[in-house]
Amino acid sequence: MQRDWQAGILNGDGSKPKGMHWGTYQRLKSHHDALVQISLHDIGRKLGCLHKLLEA
């Protein structure tokens, strides 16, 4: 079953596909949200290092 979500961590979530159980949707959405948070944290860390290099 395919989700109707656009690729990319900055795009909003799509809706629950017809026929998918709510529990499955919530589990997949939670996993997706956790991966987005990890990605944003790592991007922020990299940009912080870049900022420090540019100041030197």
* pLDDT over 90 at 4, yes or no: no
Instruction: State the total domains in the chain.
Output: 1
* 17 found inside a domain: no
What's residue 56's pLDDT? 60
* pLDDT over 60 at 1, yes or no: no
**Domain membership of residue 38 as a residue range:** 32-56
d(CA 27, CA 46): 29
pLDDT digits (tens, 9 = 90+) for 12-54: 777 888 899 999 999 988 998 898 889 888 888 888 876 776 7
* 51 found inside a domain: yes
Look-up of token digits 């979530």: 13
Contact by Cβ (8 Å): 5, 11: yes
Q: What is the mean pLDDT of residues 2-6?
A: 65
Neighbour tally for 34: CB within 10 Å: 10
d(CA 39, CA 53): 21
**pTM of the entire structure?**
0.68
One-letter amino acid for residue 40 of the chain: L
* 27 found inside a domain: no
* 49 found inside a domain: yes
